[in-house]
């Protein structure tokens, strides 16, 4: 087993992702609070159970509330504002999560072709999830 090389001081991938993890974490919490406040604003108090409200909070997609007792979904719940919110949640959430997987995996790896392989795999997983989620958003 070879030793791990110490990360150099300066601007590199690990530093950038360290900053990004903090920023995206705060952003996700702010987006979640926006989703929850918006749901109450649109009448979730009398139209939703708490599980549906939580699903809407973390991903404000009309499919998440389709089983609730909402008379007209189109004006308040399904429009461009919430689509942009969903895309922001998808971007920050998927990137934060995939970077988290990378950090966990690289704790068990040394710097070798094996690490490059995992980074490539996680990059393609990231791309795949982004495309999938944006497809779901635009088609719903």
Partner 1 sequence: MALRRNVGLKGLKYRGGGPMLTWELHRISGISIAVFIGLHVFASFLMQQFGSDFGTTMNIVYESLYFQIFIFFVVIWHGLNGLRIIILDTWPRLIEYQHEVTWLQWVIFIVIYGLTVFIMVMRTISGS
Which range, of 37-45, 79-87, 111-119, 126-134, touches partner 1 by CB under 8 A? 126-134
Q: Binding of partner 1 at residue 3 (CB under 8 A)?
A: yes
Out of 4, 13, 114, 117, name the contact with partner 1 by CB under 8 A: 4
- Residues near 79 by Cβ (< 8 Å), separated by ≥ 6? none
8 Å CB contact between 65 and 48: yes
Q: Which of 17, 36, 54, 73 binds partner 1 (CB under 8 A)?
A: 54
Rounded to whole angstroms, the Cα distance separating 64 from 129 reads 18
Cα–Cα distance between 68 and 73 in angstroms, integer? 10
Owner of token pair 């995996």: 105
Residues that bind partner 1 (CB under 8 A): 1, 3-4, 22, 25-26, 28-29, 32, 49-51, 54-55, 58, 63, 93, 97-98, 100-101, 104, 108, 129, 132-133, 135-136, 139-140
């Amino acid at each position: 087993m070879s030793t791990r090389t110490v990360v150099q001081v300066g601007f590199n991938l690990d530093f950038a992702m360290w900053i990004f993890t903090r920023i995206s974490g705060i952003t996700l919490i702010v987006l979640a609070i926006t989703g929850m406040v918006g749901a109450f604003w649109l009448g979730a108090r009398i139209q939703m159970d708490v599980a549906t409200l939580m699903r809407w909070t973390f991903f404000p997609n009309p499919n998440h509330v389709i089983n609730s007792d909402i008379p007209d979904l189109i004006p308040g719940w399904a429009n461009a504002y919430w689509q942009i919110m969903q895309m922001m949640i998808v971007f920050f959430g998927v990137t934060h999560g995939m970077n988290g997987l990378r950090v966990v995996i690289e704790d068990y790896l040394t710097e070798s072709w094996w690490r490059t392989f995992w980074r490539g795999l996680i990059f393609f997983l990231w791309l795949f999830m982004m495309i999938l989620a944006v497809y779901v958003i635009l088609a719903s």
